[in-house]
Amino acid sequence: MKKFTVLGNGSWSSALAKILTDNKIEINWWMRSESAVAHLIERAHNPNYLTSVEYDMKYIQPTTDLENAIKDGEIILIGIPSAYMPDVFKNLHGDVFESKKILSATKGLVGSDHELMNHYLRNRTKLKKENFFCITGPCHAEEVASEKLSYLTFGGYDETTTEQIAAHFQTHYMHTVCSKDVKGIQYAAVLKNIYALGAGIAHGLDYGDNFQSVYITNCFAELQNFMDVMATEQQHHYNTSAYLGDLLVTCYSMHSRNRAFGNYIGKGYSVKSTKLEMNMEAEGYFASRGIAVVSENKNLDLPIARTMYDILWNGKNAKKRFKKLENILR
């Protein structure tokens, strides 16, 4: 049995697979595409994501067999985009994760009920609460690929096991931080993607740095208000990297897919044409709908997140909606 099984072969999964194999840790790597598996075996590169990374194949067992990949791993690292999670897991038996540790690298809300990953899995499988762990940033896959110093935050209810799992990802280019706020850091990762869409829309609408600084400051305040209402597990230190740091890098970085997605929208592209242009997922798009549902259920006013939802899902004009947003930012 290999220590880790990695599910998914997008940019983020590919970056995490690089970190593990750089540390000489053997992994099962599940990919949906047989051609991607064949390419990886033949050329030691992911054909579609982080193509510059050359993997040491003696540490990788690529496969398209999901059930066996999970069966053969002790820690299951899930990097599948949240929108595809229900379809990927729909045929798995409920006890598939009973003896496993789950490490979620998914930054979104899952399923029609718009649940955090730990709630989604625990409501459908026999996963134990203490066996769920999660990864958040601030960290872009592209900078992992080029081995620029980065930081990862690992969340878990069991502090000792969280630290043990995090240690597998510690390298000369990666520092790790641990947190007990499993719910909070997941929600922070969801919200920062939505706010990054707005930063991109603002850029596309030709707002400048002065506006962006005010916009992101207000996003941070809205994030804090959301966290306080959702009553996450511990007292927050919002100025730490999992909250403020991840928000900043996702809103400002040119590597940010959510910012890029928003930029297209701000320039007048439709959602459909933006998806075609980018050819990759922006988690904030789906998250904006999920957070709209969650906030309505909690009777919580999130004007910035709501603006993104109205633009992306209700077809509201971006320029007009941002004009309204100007008057509520402080």
Instruction: Give the pLDDT means over successive 10-residue stretches in the chain (330 positions).
Output: 89 97 97 95 95 96 95 96 92 88 95 95 92 95 96 95 97 95 94 98 98 98 91 65 94 95 97 88 93 94 97 97 96
Task: Check residue 1 and give its pLDDT.
Answer: 59
Q: Sheet holding 101-104: strands in order across?
A: 60-63, 27-30, 2-7, 73-78, 101-104, 132-136, 150-156, 174-179
Instruction: Give the CATH fold of the 2-180 domain.
Output: Rossmann fold (3.40.50)
The answer to whether the pTM exceeds 0.85 is: yes
What are the two backbone dihedrals, phi and then psi, of residue 6, each rounded to the nearest 5 degrees? -105, 125
Ranges for all domains in the chain classified under CATH 1.10.1040.10: 183-326
What is the token pair recorded at 21?
């194999």
Residues with Cβ within 8 Å of residue 9, at least 6 apart in sequence: 29, 31, 32, 33, 36, 46, 48, 49
Looking at domain 183-326, its CATH architecture is Orthogonal Bundle (1.10)
Task: Check residue 234 and give its pLDDT.
Answer: 59
Task: Check residue 238 and give its pLDDT.
Answer: 73
Nearest-angstrom CA–CA distance, 270 and 274: 6
User: Are 176 and 154 within 8 A, CB to CB?
Assistant: yes
Q: How far is CA 328 from CA 27, 37, 79, 222, 324, in A?
A: 49, 50, 36, 12, 7
**How many alpha carbons lie under 13 Å from residue 71 in its C-beta half-sphere?**
7
Nearest-angstrom CA–CA distance, 67 and 70: 5
Task: Check residue 235 and give its pLDDT.
Answer: 59
Ranges for all domains in the chain classified under CATH 3.40.50.720: 2-180
Nearest-angstrom CA–CA distance, 195 and 106: 17
Task: Check residue 2 and give its pLDDT.
Answer: 72
